[in-house]
Chain A
Amino acid sequence: DQQVKQNSPSLSVQEGRISILNCDYTNSMFDYFLWYKKYPAEGPTFLISISSIKDKNEDGRFTVFLNKSAKHLSLHIVPSQPGDSAVYFCAARGSGTYKYIFGTGTRLKVLA
């Protein structure tokens, strides 16, 4: 049973526009969430995080929103750049643990 879901396998966006990547989870005990970016043949790199006590966290062009009642988080990238083309994973951690459960990923393509 997939506890963290990314229902869109792929997304294409024009350069300069907003990219919105979505993630849903089923476990209400998850209290900390991460987004990672992954280029081919490289390891995932950390982008941004959010704690369950917040509903928004911003870092430059990247903003993560958390809707706990809907068990939904989203990553907004504004403006999108061609270098943002990668696979994006969301991950969730349960309270009192340090292990993360990852979603299946969304491949973002930013068109120049």
Chain B
Amino acid sequence: DAEITQSPRHKITETGRQVTLACHQTWNHNNMFWYRQDLGHGLRLIHYSYGVQDTNKGEVSDGYSVSRSNTEDLPLTLESAASSQTSVYFCASSESYAGELFFGEGSRLTVL
């Protein structure tokens, strides 16, 4: 079955370290998204991509970057982790013509 997977599922890191969260989907979807979930804020869009070599900033992109070198993967990088980036991160994908997003299981990141 096609799916979307995130890794690691849990990570603890220190302030100032670089962290990369992986997202891999096997649906061959063009659209991929990264959201973060925080209490009182719901799901907020960090970055998104509509295809290979395409990346765009979302609502809360400061301190994050993404790259899209193939259809299947959209890794999210925190260049210098901050305590404010402690959150649960969700990757999602969608087909261009269909509406719904398919989400991964989430990656819980703690920055100490």
Please give, as numbers and ranges, the residues of chain B lying within 8 Å of A105 by CB-CB distance: 42-43
Asked whether B31 lies within 8 Å of A43 as measured between CB atoms, the reply is no
Cα(A7)–Cα(B101), bound, Å? 23
A/B pair count, beta carbons within 8 Å: 57
CB distance from B6 to the nearest CB of A (A): 8
Query: Which one of B40, B101, B104 contacts A100 once the chains associate, using CB atoms below 8 Å?
Result: B101
CB-CB contacts below 8 Å: B98-112 with A: 99-106
Asked whether A34 lies within 8 Å of B40 as measured between CB atoms, the reply is no
Cα(A105)–Cα(B43), bound, Å? 8
Asked whether B90 lies within 8 Å of A44 as measured between CB atoms, the reply is yes
Cα(A104)–Cα(B35), bound, Å? 13
Asked whether B45 lies within 8 Å of A32 as measured between CB atoms, the reply is no
Query: B44 an interface residue at 8 Å Cβ cutoff?
Result: yes
Query: Which one of A34, A89, A99 contacts B100 once the chains associate, using CB atoms below 8 Å?
Result: A34
